[in-house]
Each structure stands twice: as structure tokens, then as C-alpha cells.
Amino acid sequence: MGNIVAIVGRPNVGKSTLFNRLTESRAAIVDGEEGVTRDRHYGTSEWNGKTFSVIDTGGYVTNSEDVFEEAIRKQAAIAMDEADVILFMVDVQNGITDLDQSVANILRRINKPVLLVVNKVDNNDLNLDATEFYGLGYEKLYSISSNSGSGTGDLLDEVTNLLPEQKEEETEEELPRFAVVGRPNAGKSLLVNTLLGEDRNIVTDISGTTRDAIYTRYNKFDRDFYLVDTAGLRKKAKVREDLEFYSVMRSVRVIEYADVCLVMIDATKGIESQDVNILHLAVRNNKGVVVLINKWDLIEKQTDTAKKMETEIKNRLSPFEDVPIIFISALTKQRIFKALETATKVYENRNRKIKTSQLNDYLLPLIERTPPPSIKGKYIKIKYVAQLPTPYPAFAFYCNLPQYVKEPYRRFLVNQLRKGFNFTGVPIKIFIRKK
């Protein structure tokens, strides 16, 4: 965790194809047989024992109103802010275009390692054509075919050479790491200041290894926890008009570092798609979630106002509906301690480990009563279940015909787990494995 590789280049050179190639194999290892939905432009990759995140910067800026030059400027800005290594991609089948030149000009000003990647080199003849790109002024180029994967090994060798050594995250103690996330103006700063006070009772300061996201350790209200601070990241919002966009990028980073995300929503604005994006980011990264509906002091309360908002959020998060939703005011301090307390509980839920015997005693009779529906006359027998040693709740169900256990039944299993044990606020992953 912590290292970021950004892919930059004009449209259609193959950025998202490479992105998919780099991030899919990793997903396959981590997520087993289950296809998980990920942010399509931000994923994790692993090579030579190093783990790094990959950003397809094109995915964040292809916006119909963007003229190409503008889109490229934004891609470069993301790469500059976020990346440790930049892959500058061009297309051998088109040769050098004006836009490639523009990208090269912008990247020259960035003081970060840039690798020139010549894509669509699908055969040996094209390998010769690739040499044309030395004209962009790079000493070395990497010819690859994102479609077939050829050449990507050499590229990744160099990428991992350039990445700094990974140290273990240096939080010496296992304390909860909370992050306050949300759209601009949701009230994040006010909440943090109100909770922690001006004096900010800081015990120690431990910075992330290579990144500038910072865990600050607090001891407040009888609780000891780290707050993942976005202060360092906040400064980087250079591009004013993209505040919204940058806030999502920041959330991505901060969420990675946290155990539990306090997702703040401005009650006066209602729930908008950006709020839902941030919520989904937290859930997809298997983080604990507490939803804080803020500015509750400004809301004219009809009897069902809270209920309506609650229902809407749960619908948007479905099928993961077991989420605490708290109506707060950072201004009047209404329920802000409850918010912190709930975050602590969610942290405990996320770390909950259920003994294998207890799991099986509880689940197997339920499974026996409601077995997976048989398919093509085949009976599916789940024999036992065990929790996996992951940092978030994940369970493996061992079964004779795993491929026949479909989504509705997986949901049934998750629901039973939630009924039997307290996993409020935490996504649960399940894997059906062959036995």
C-alpha cells in the first residue's frame, strides 16, 4: 500500500486496457472466484512482491466538454499530485501526434520518474516502428501490447525498481484508524475541530511511509485512536474548478489508510451522487462505515424526515444496509460523541473473529434448513465454514459445487452472519470454495 503508478496519455492509446490488465490479475488473486466491483480507474497491482496502486488518469478526465489539451493537463495534474511513477503511453500504430508532443511537454516539467510506454506493439514489425518514439526525447522506451500483455513484464520490472521499498505501516499499536470523508462543505473540518478541540491533544505524530497522509494519534473521551488527517492532501487542490474531483481523489487516498470511514453528508443538500461514490469507495475497500448526516440543526423536521433519508441511504447502499446512520450537528455538537463511539464499535465489529466451531454450530443447521437451490438436478452441499485471517470479515464456505452457489444465496449467507453476530457497519466478504 502507498505506492502509486499513474497512466497518462492522449485518448485511445490503450490506457484503460493496460489498467485492466495490471489490476485484474491482482483482483483474481485477492478475491478468489468472486468478481468484485472496483473503481474502474483505480486499482491494485502486484509485481515482484511489491504492491502498488494504479490510476488510469484518463478515466477521471474524459469529460465530453474537455478539449483534449485540457484533459491532458488535468491528467498530468493528477499524476503530479498522486503518483510515484508515471507511465506515459503512446500508440505505435498512429505514430507521434501533436497531442503526444503536448503530453511530453507537460511531463518534462514534472520531477518524477516517467516511463515512455509504446503500446499496440502487437508484432515484431511494429517493434521497429516503435523506435520513432525516441523522437520524444526519452532514453529508453518500453514496447508493449496491452491486448496480449507482451512486454508488460519488462515494464513492471522497471516500475517496481523505481518504487521505494515498502516498510510496514508504522503505527506501533493496533489502534483504530478513523477517517472523516465527504464532499466539500459537508462539515468535515468543523467536526474534527469540535471533536478534538483547538488544543488537539496530540500524543504522537506518525506519518505514512511514503505518502503524506498522516495518522495523528489522539486520546480523547477515554478513547485512543488515530485520525487519518487530510490536511497534507488539502493543500494540493491547486485546480480550483476541480474541487469536487480532487475531493474524490483525496477520499480515495484517505479511505485506503483508514479502518473506519465517517462519511459526512450535508443534510441541507440531500444525498447526491458524489456522496454515494464516496460511500461505495469505502465499502469496496472493505472499510467500516458510519454515515453522519450533518447540519441537522438546519433541517425543518417533519416527523419522517430522518426516516426518509435513512431509507434513501440504505437503498443506495443495498444490499449492504446494516450501516449506522447518525444525525448530527458539528455546530451545536448534537450527537458528535455518539458518532465517535459508534465508529469505535464499528471498528470492533470489523475486527470480530468468530471461532470456527461457533460459526459452524450456528450456520450449518440454518444452511441445512435452507440449502442452496439444486441446479440441473445437482445437490449443493456446504460442508463447513471458516473465517479467514483478513483485516476485515471474510468467510470461506467449503462446498462440493462452488460454481452453482449464486448471488441470492450468497446474500442469504451474509444475512445469516449479520443476524448471528454483530457486523454492523462492516462489509462482509464471502468465498465459496471447493472441498
Query: How many residues belong to the chain?
Result: 435
Which member of 23, 146, 251, 274 binds ligand GDP (CB under 6 A)?
146
* By the rule CB under 6 A, 243 interacts with ligand GDP: no
Strand partners, 327: 293
- Distance (Å, whole) CA 158 – CA 425: 40
Binding marks (x or -) toward ligand GDP, 181..220, rule CB under 6 A?
-x-xxxxxxx------------------------------
Q: Which of 45, 57, 145, 286 binds ligand GDP (CB under 6 A)?
A: 145
d(CA 22, CA 153): 10
Distance CA 331, CA 333 (A): 5
116 sits near ligand GDP (criterion: CB under 6 A): no
Question: Exposed, middle or buried: residue 196 (CB in 10 Å: 0-12, 13-18, 19+)?
Answer: middle
Is the CA virtual torsion 424, 33, 169, 193 positive or negative? negative
Q: Is 288 in the site for ligand GDP (CB under 6 A)?
A: no
**What letter does residue 7 receive in the DSSP assignment?**
E
Among 26, 120, 217, 350, the residue binding ligand GDP under the rule CB under 6 A is 120
Residue among 326 and 380 whose Cβ is closer to ligand GDP = 326
For position 232 contacting ligand GDP by CB under 6 A, the verdict is no
| Other Cβ atoms within 10 Å of 2 Cβ, number | 20
Is 12 assigned a ligand-binding role in the annotation?
yes
- Residue 397 phi/psi, 5° resolution? -105, 125
Q: Please check whether residue 211 is in contact with residue 228, taking contact to mean a CB–CB distance below 8 angstroms.
A: no
**CA pair distance 289, 324, nearest whole angstrom:** 8
Q: Which one among 2, 14, 324, 402 touches ligand GDP, defined by CB under 6 A?
A: 14
Cβ proximity to ligand GDP: between 146 and 342 the closer is: 146
Of 11-19, 34-42, 96-104, 367-375, the segment contacting ligand GDP by CB under 6 A is 11-19
- Return binding residues for GTP: 9-16, 56-60, 119-122, 182-189, 229-233, 294-297
Binding site for ligand GDP (CB under 6 A): 9, 11-17, 58, 119-120, 122, 145-147, 182, 184-190, 294-295, 297-298, 329-331
- Return binding residues: 9-16, 56-60, 119-122, 182-189, 229-233, 294-297
